[in-house]
Structure 1
């Protein structure tokens, strides 16, 4: 398992910035998912902030989804369910938070990373921030993140992404379908516009922000149970011979 993955938090004025990192293209081992959930929950309870920026380190991939090494280490259904529940817990923590989440999607993102972007209330991206749901190609599916992704881009676009599991969708496509709100040609421009936006919205009435969050996420009260059930499906399928062979094949590339 990766030992140098981390979560960092910085706070300025009413804005908190969460930065995640792992050496494998910012993919998520279970420990990092647990730490991200804990960080979001702590910040959500703070009265000193109104806005949370979610970003990753580097200039390469924003997030490569689940850790392939950890997926290959799963030996039973209970462990599989627990791992995929990590993504469920992060999404639900973002959903329940009274804070506004702004996504900084600087590069390509796959699988669970698309779920994180979809769970943000507003997303800034660069032209290099292509997206892909590759889960079917490795024998599972984007079950846990589907509710969050479909909520943003609709079931039809989600279906298109899921079945074209080897195909990258462009940042422009993601913007057209509602995943990204703003797309810029450079990271520098993205950061300038993001900071301006964050400073503006962070000054809004916190009570109004909380009420708006309730409206943004209407109809999702059942997600605690739903995402856990979806994690169970993924946890079962990750043990299949198809998935084990596919994961090993991907790792060799």
Structure 2
């Protein structure tokens, strides 16, 4: 269905493979359009519980395609603005999916690739993976990816890496909070599968609400407004069929209806 992606569906898990291995899954207009459309399609599919994003070949994603960047250098301001909006829109669509998302990172995750890893809810990296916000080396800035990278590594670290464009090892990415887990390359898929299995235990509506809760509360002072909002959120969920099913399953010592059967 997609020119630059392969999508595998297996027991509620959609694995989205960026499939431009000859250019290390670098971004171009088609890949941006395909990821945007795939995220929207999968988010609307109730049979999909978890989305895993990975890359075919040697890399997760090496950032922007050089030919695409060359074309952008010769394009008008209006054309570049349209391109920038499409890239920013793709990252936001990924970041705001209702479903849990996992970045499966191996090899290079540079520029926009680091943005994709940051926009996913969870990042699992192979020990030889490497990250960078490399844009300043090309005379540009990591603009579209900045909200998600800042969310992952914080403002203080961004001051360093946005300006130095240093390569960030997988170990360092773990220290920064960019990668939740760093594992041996041969253990990458197994660790992703373990996290997927944990995610499948949770209620789909509750997980979507949990993501929305984080966006509502993060970086805000504990005000009367915030306290009232959190009270309303939990009260509205307690009476839902999903919450009733979850409590009944716990008390009955059985699996909830949303948990895949072995």
Query: Which TM-score applies when normalising by structure 2?
Result: 0.78
CA contact (8 A) 2:95 2:121 kept: no
User: Which moves more between the two structures, 38-47 or 20-29?
Assistant: 20-29
Alignment correspondent of 1:209: 207
Alignment correspondent of 2:33: 34
Alignment RMSD: 1.6
Alignment correspondent of 1:227: none
1:103 corresponds to 2:103: yes
Alignment correspondent of 1:56: 55
Instruction: Note the C-alpha offset of 1:206.
Output: 0.5
Instruction: Note the C-alpha offset of 1:143.
Output: 0.9
User: Highest relative contact order (Cα 8 Å, sep 6+), 1 or 2?
Assistant: 1
Any unmatched runs of 5+ in structure 2? 219-262
1: CA distance between counterparts of 2:146 and 2:92?
A: 13
1:25 corresponds to 2:17: no
1:78 corresponds to 2:78: yes
User: Which moves more between the two structures, 79-88 or 132-141?
Assistant: 79-88
Instruction: Note the C-alpha offset of 1:193.
Output: 1.2
Instruction: Note the C-alpha offset of 1:218.
Output: 3.2
Alignment correspondent of 2:253: none
2: CA distance between counterparts of 1:155 and 1:71?
A: 27
| Count of aligned pairs | 214
CA contact (8 A) 2:4 2:30 kept: no
2: CA distance between counterparts of 1:164 and 1:219?
A: 31
1:145 corresponds to 2:154: no
Return closer, same or farther for 1:86/1:185 CA change in 2, 3 Å cut-off: same
1:173 corresponds to 2:191: no
1:68 corresponds to 2:66: yes
Give the alignment partner of residue 12 of structure 1, picking from 10, 13, 16: 10
Instruction: Note the C-alpha offset of 1:141.
Output: 0.4
Q: Give 3-state SS (helix, strand or coil) of 2:26's partner.
A: coil
CA contact (8 A) 1:124 1:194 kept: yes
Alignment correspondent of 1:45: 44
Q: Summarize the alignment of residues 92-131 of structure 1 with structure 2, pairs less than 5 Å apart.
A: 92-131=92-131
2: CA distance between counterparts of 1:34 and 1:218?
A: 28
Instruction: Note the C-alpha offset of 1:100.
Output: 0.3
Instruction: Note the C-alpha offset of 1:5.
Output: 5.9
Larger Rg: 2
CA contact (8 A) 1:26 1:56 kept: yes
Any unmatched runs of 5+ in structure 1? 221-253
2: CA distance between counterparts of 1:57 and 1:203?
A: 28
Q: Give 3-state SS (helix, strand or coil) of 2:167's partner.
A: coil
Q: Give 3-state SS (helix, strand or coil) of 1:8's partner.
A: strand
Query: Which TM-score applies when normalising by structure 1?
Result: 0.81
